[in-house]
A and B are shown apart, each in its own frame.
Chain A
Amino acid sequence: MIELIIIVVSAVLLFAITLWKRRSPTTLREIPALTRLLHTLGLSIEDGTRLHISLGSGSLLDARGGSAFAGLAMLRHIAERTSVSDEPSVASAGDPALGLLTQDTLQAGYKAAGVNELYVPTTGRVTGLSPFGYAAGAMYISKNENVSANIMIGHFGPEAALLTEASDRENVVSIGASDELSGQAVLFANTNDALVGEELFATGAYLGAGPSHTASLTVQDIMRWLVISALLGGAAAKFFGVI
């Protein structure tokens, strides 16, 4: 029942804060990786290079789907901004269902920019069906397709090192975030800038995806303080013999 209460409280907070954020603009703290992401986004359009958005091999049918949806939200806005570029962004996924949504999301970005006719279905790809197969296929994109930045947001394990290594060899900027601890450690060591923990879910808010994304960050902060209070309260109660 506690889980249901957490979900309901989060949902109510998200709804109320989204309405509130529509009226008042939000100031977000600076996250170096996301500042670099915005910088690379503008630069890629100017110098006629591609962005490669890697969404990892997370399945939508399990708990790893959250990071995949966060990656898709980011992809939607990147696609909209880079749709008129000479070299449109390429997105890769390691899960077939995620691959389908990748294509749909890319097309939605083009449609929002009013250039639906420029959309090329092969810019959204499934490069492999296992984590290593996916990494091997995605390495190929960084190497051969005039890519200037490799943005990895999603579920990545240690295989992320293969992708960052391939990017490094071609002087491609790497920005990464994973919902898995081993993937995060690898990305921290291998990328120019890594997003740690819940920063993965902040990309949409920083790209201007709308009030629901900034409201999500506020809800996460509130819930985090509640968890911290519960942990400290529980420890204190145990210490004093209350529980």
Chain B
Amino acid sequence: MRIFTAVIAIAAGILVLGGYFFPALADIQTLLLNWAIILAGMAALVGIFNLISVHTDKVRRREKGSTYSAILVIALVATFVFGLILRPDHSAMAILMSGIIIPVEAALMGLLTVSLIYAAIRLLRRRADVMSIVFLITAALLILGSATLPFGNIPLLGTLVRPWITQVLALGGARGILIGVALGTLTTGLRVLFGADRPYGGN
């Protein structure tokens, strides 16, 4: 069984990769990717059942925070049932989306702003090294160079320092990091293609 799953996974990986370089494999690549999309859709359903199972278990065992788990399960089941009955494009479902989900995510974004400022303030206490100091000075220069200040812009900061940092230093560094990430992704993908890493089939 282990060998069987590995052979299927490796063959599918090679055919999809090959489809990018050899036009003869393009059709089979599209077919396999379509299957993957359908399976990912099914996986969403399994993921939701997993979420329900974890939280109902918490409610049953009256664990810490089980009230929130109960609210989550009730809201999830209610939304799912209403979605099935009314269909996702119904106005009531649109209200649910724009009245609850989007404001909640916006609120989390607001919390994030506070969290980031708080983290920047505490960075030197957590890790007092050269890189942390460079990080904080750079962040402060960029904020001062971008912000609208009551006494007007600081000379040279917005016109010279900020563009130089973002378009020369930061851009160069970002490209270096992204090349590193791309090479890491490449070797990780090759390990999966070789079957050295098999995050499937319980191996």
Binds B, one of A37-45, A46-54, A126-134, A233-241: A126-134
Give the shortest distance, in Å, between A219 (CB) and chain B (any CB).
5
> Is A10 part of the binding interface, using a Cβ–Cβ cutoff of 8 Å?
yes
Chain A residues 162-194 with CB under 8 Å of chain B are 162, 164-165, 179, 181, 184, 186, 188-190, 192-193
Interface of A is mostly: helix
Q: Report which of B21, B37, B197 forms a contact with A61, defined as CB distance below 8 A.
A: B37
Which residues on the A side are within 8 Å of B51 (C-beta)? Answer: 125-127, 137
Give the shortest distance, in Å, between A3 (CB) and chain B (any CB).
7
Give the shortest distance, in Å, between A130 (CB) and chain B (any CB).
7
Interface of B is mostly: helix
In the bound assembly, the distance between CA atoms of A125 and B72 in angstroms comes to: 15
Which residues on the B side are within 8 Å of A99 (C-beta)? Answer: 43, 46-47, 50
In contact, B46 and A201 (Cβ under 8 angstroms)? no
Which residues on the B side are within 8 Å of A164 (C-beta)? Answer: 115, 119
> Is A27 part of the binding interface, using a Cβ–Cβ cutoff of 8 Å?
no
> Is B89 part of the binding interface, using a Cβ–Cβ cutoff of 8 Å?
no
> Is A210 part of the binding interface, using a Cβ–Cβ cutoff of 8 Å?
yes
In the bound assembly, the distance between CA atoms of A97 and B50 in angstroms comes to: 12
In the bound assembly, the distance between CA atoms of A6 and B190 in angstroms comes to: 12
Which residues on the B side are within 8 Å of A11 (C-beta)? Answer: 190, 193-194
Which residues on the A side are within 8 Å of B127 (C-beta)? Answer: 192-193
Q: Report which of B174, B184, B196, B202 forms a contact with A200, defined as CB distance below 8 A.
A: B184
Which residues on the A side are within 8 Å of B189 (C-beta)? Answer: 65-66, 69
Which residues on the B side are within 8 Å of A129 (C-beta)? Answer: 44, 47
Give the shortest distance, in Å, between A155 (CB) and chain B (any CB).
10
Which residues on the A side are within 8 Å of B33 (C-beta)? Answer: 61
> Is B123 part of the binding interface, using a Cβ–Cβ cutoff of 8 Å?
yes
In contact, B199 and A101 (Cβ under 8 angstroms)? yes
Which residues on the B side are within 8 Å of A140 (C-beta)? Answer: 65, 68
Binds A, one of B78-86, B106-114, B149-157, B160-168: B106-114
Q: Report which of B37, B104, B174, B180 forms a contact with A198, defined as CB distance below 8 A.
A: B180
13 additional A-B residue pairs with CB within 8 Å, beyond A140-B68, A158-B116, A181-B177:
A69-B189, A69-B199, A76-B199, A100-B43, A136-B108, A179-B185, A186-B119, A200-B181, A201-B181, A212-B194, A216-B188, A216-B191, A224-B180
* 22 pairs, CB–CB < 8 Å, chain A vs chain B: A15-B194, A63-B185, A66-B188, A67-B181, A69-B191, A76-B199, A104-B202, A122-B50, A122-B53, A122-B57, A126-B50, A132-B109, A133-B105, A144-B64, A144-B65, A189-B120, A190-B115, A198-B183, A216-B184, A219-B183, A219-B187, A224-B183
* Chain B residues close to A by CB (< 8 Å): 17, 20-21, 33, 36-37, 39-40, 43-48, 50-51, 53-54, 57, 63-65, 68, 104-105, 108-109, 111-112, 115-116, 118-120, 123, 126-127, 135, 174, 176-181, 183-194, 196-197, 199-203
8 nearest A-B residue pairs (beta carbon) = A66-B185, A201-B184, A96-B47, A198-B180, A126-B47, A212-B196, A197-B180, A96-B43
* Chain A residues close to B by CB (< 8 Å): 1, 3-4, 6-7, 10-11, 14-15, 18, 59-61, 63, 65-67, 69-70, 72-73, 76, 96-97, 99-101, 103-105, 107-108, 111, 121-122, 124-127, 129-130, 132-133, 135-137, 140, 143-144, 158-159, 161-162, 164-165, 179, 181, 184, 186, 188-190, 192-193, 196-198, 200-201, 204, 210, 212-213, 216, 219-220, 223-224, 227
